[in-house]
Structure 1
Amino acid sequence: MKVLFHGAGALGGYFGGRMLEAGYNVSYLVRERRAEQLRKEGLKIHSPAGDYENKEVKLYTSTEEIEEMDLIILAVKGYHLQQAIPQIKVIAQRTGAFVLPLLNGMEHIQQLREAVGIEKVLGGFASIIATLNDKGHVIHSNKGSAIKFGALHEAQVGICEKLEEINHDIQAAILREDDILKHMWKKYIFITAFSGVTSATKLPAGFIANIEATYRVARNVVLEMSQLAGKEGISFSEEEVDKIVSSMRGLAKEATSSMHQDLRKGLPIEVEHLHGGALRMAAKHDLQLPVIETLYGLLKPYENGEPNNRQ
């Protein structure tokens, strides 16, 4: 199976690196600047699960170079999605590859289906705490990491079986889920609360756990998102909702969201993709999400990076 990672940030770099480490046929489609960095530094992972280095990663900087591919794993930030879709469309049409997006949120599924066809887009997401350092090395800070995926169309059963086989060989979890949509919504609910509160407060998880007023904000986001999921046909019990909320108290005190990490670096953040996406879906159902709307308003000025750094 030939796998193409679209994007070699912390997410694509880590999981693609783990697949390469196990001997799988993996390549990357990246921008020229990232390609130059990878050619110079190699793909390097620093992780509690074990370090890895590869100086001979196969890189593409143009879709024209890609002739054969079985699976495209889309590992970009939400704000890069619109730039990535035309490239994904070209590759999928030329090669017949399936697409596994690892973005948070839900809007991108329909957008990708419109581009490449309903039968080609799998469901999935990733769970990992990682970032890139100034040399472009992947810094993975928690021992666990996982990709969860599943079929959204009967035509995807074969590719899911092939991807599931990888789980036995690599230093990361590649887990197939039958009810992938519910798992995606669970992650969306959690990350909308966790990224929103850590970014708005500019503080890590310990402050959510220890300050009751802050914890209530996170809980209210989870409640609003579970209501939205219900309107979209995915129901969560009261017990399931409580479990999502309480999971924030189980995180390491210094743990934080990738949105908060990007905010601290003055980089663009996924507020439009996550919180804006929730508000757009809610509007279709005439559903009010006041806490999410407040977080969206507080974070929107940082959407394109630190406001003071704009040209």
Structure 2
Amino acid sequence: MNILVQGAGALGVYFGGRMLEAGESVSFFVREKRANQLIKEGLKINSPEGSFETKDVMVYTSPEKVKDIDLVILAVKGYHLNQVIPQVQMIVQQTGAFVLPLLNGMEHLQLLQQAVGTEKVVGGFASIIATLNEQGHVEHTNGSSTIKFGALHNEQTKICEQLEAIHSHVKTNILREENILKHMWKKYIFITAFSGITSAMQLPAGFIASSEASFAVARKVIYEMSLLAEKEGIALTDQEVEVMANRLKGFKKEATSSMHQDMRKGLPIEVEHLHGGALRMAAKHHVTVPVIETLYGVLKPYENGKPN
């Protein structure tokens, strides 16, 4: 199986690098500046799961040159999605590849399905706490990493079987799930609360547990998001919701969300993709989500980076 990772931020480089390390055929589609950095500095992962580096990295910067790809792993930020959809369309048209988006949220599924066909978009998401250093190398800071994926169309069975087979020999988790939409929703629920509260506090995760008031805000986001999931046909038990809420207290003090990391660096944040998406869904179903709406208002000025 030939895999193209589109996007070489921390998430794309980490999982693409792990597959390269295991001997899989992996290339990267990136912007010119990032391509030059990868060629100069190489691909390097610093991780509790084992470090890895290589200078042997195949990069593309033009969709016209991409051939013989079976799977595109789309690992871009939500705010870049509209920019990359024409590139994804061209690559799929040329190669017939399937697309596995690892974006947060849910709105991207429909946008990609409209662009390349419902049968081509596999469900999935990633869980990792990682960032890039100044050399463009991955600093993986928590002790685990996971891609979860699953078929959303009966034509995706074979590609899912091929991806599942990689799990046994990579230094990460690549896990196939039958009800992938429910798992995607659970990730969306949790990350909206976790990224929202850490970014609004402008403090790492340890402060969620140490302040009951802050934990209460994040917990209410979990419950508001669970209401939206229910409206979208995803049933969650009270126990599942409570488990998600209590996970917010389980992080190491210095750990934090990728949104908060981006905010600290003065970079754009995914507030529109996460919290804005939730508000659009709430409007569709005529329900109110006041805590999400408040976090959205607090974080919106940082959407395009540090406000001037």
Give the TM-score band, short-chain normalised. over 0.9
Within a 5 Å distance, the mapping from 1:285-300 to structure 2 comes to 285-300=285-300
Question: Which residue is equivalent to 1:124?
Answer: 124
Within a 5 Å distance, the mapping from 1:194-233 to structure 2 comes to 194-233=194-233
Deviation by residue 1:251-297 (Cα, 9 ceiling, x = unmatched): 11111000000000000000000000010111110011100000000
- The alpha-carbon deviation at position 31 of structure 1 amounts to 0.2
The 1-side partners of 2:300 and 2:106 are apart by 19
- Percent identity between matched residues is 69
Q: Which amino acid counterpart does residue 220 of structure 1 have in structure 2?
A: K
Q: Which amino acid counterpart does residue 91 of structure 2 have in structure 1?
A: I
Alignment partner of 2:3: what SS? Answer: strand
Question: Which residue is equivalent to 1:104?
Answer: 104
The 1-side partners of 2:118 and 2:281 are apart by 20
Q: Which amino acid counterpart does residue 206 of structure 2 have in structure 1?
A: G
The 2-side partners of 1:27 and 1:19 are apart by 10
- The alpha-carbon deviation at position 210 of structure 1 amounts to 1.2
The 1-side partners of 2:249 and 2:216 are apart by 12
- The alpha-carbon deviation at position 231 of structure 1 amounts to 0.3
The 2-side partners of 1:237 and 1:19 are apart by 35
The 1-side partners of 2:157 and 2:281 are apart by 29
Deviation by residue 1:190-241 (Cα, 9 ceiling, x = unmatched): 0000000000010111110110000000000000000000000001111110
Question: Which residue is equivalent to 2:36?
Answer: 36
The 2-side partners of 1:178 and 1:207 are apart by 35
The 2-side partners of 1:288 and 1:218 are apart by 16
Question: Which residue is equivalent to 2:160?
Answer: 160
The 1-side partners of 2:262 and 2:46 are apart by 19
Task: Please give the root-mean-square deviation of Cα atoms over the aligned residues, in Å.
Answer: 0.5
Query: Is 1:50 the counterpart of 2:41 in the alignment?
Result: no
Within a 5 Å distance, the mapping from 1:258-297 to structure 2 comes to 258-297=258-297
Within a 5 Å distance, the mapping from 1:177-196 to structure 2 comes to 177-196=177-196
The 2-side partners of 1:171 and 1:119 are apart by 29
Q: Which amino acid counterpart does residue 27 of structure 2 have in structure 1?
A: S
What's the TM-score, normalizing by structure 2?
Answer: 0.99
- The alpha-carbon deviation at position 14 of structure 1 amounts to 0.3
Any gaps of 5 or more consecutive residues in structure 2?
Answer: none
The 2-side partners of 1:271 and 1:36 are apart by 29
Alignment partner of 2:134: what SS? Answer: coil
- The alpha-carbon deviation at position 77 of structure 1 amounts to 0.3
The 1-side partners of 2:198 and 2:173 are apart by 26
Query: Is 1:60 the counterpart of 2:63 in the alignment?
Result: no
Alignment partner of 1:103: what SS? Answer: coil
The 2-side partners of 1:258 and 1:181 are apart by 22
Deviation by residue 1:20-63 (Cα, 9 ceiling, x = unmatched): 00100000000000001101100011011111111010000000
Deviation by residue 1:111-148 (Cα, 9 ceiling, x = unmatched): 00000000000100000000001110100011200000
Question: Which residue is equivalent to 1:114?
Answer: 114
The 2-side partners of 1:272 and 1:138 are apart by 25
What's the TM-score, normalizing by structure 1?
Answer: 0.98
Q: Which amino acid counterpart does residue 227 of structure 1 have in structure 2?
A: L
Question: Which residue is equivalent to 2:253?
Answer: 253
The 1-side partners of 2:236 and 2:215 are apart by 20
Alignment partner of 1:250: what SS? Answer: coil
Alignment partner of 1:307: what SS? Answer: coil
Q: Which amino acid counterpart does residue 146 of structure 1 have in structure 2?
A: T
Q: Which amino acid counterpart does residue 273 of structure 2 have in structure 1?
A: H
The 2-side partners of 1:238 and 1:210 are apart by 24
The 2-side partners of 1:11 and 1:54 are apart by 17
- The alpha-carbon deviation at position 248 of structure 1 amounts to 1.1
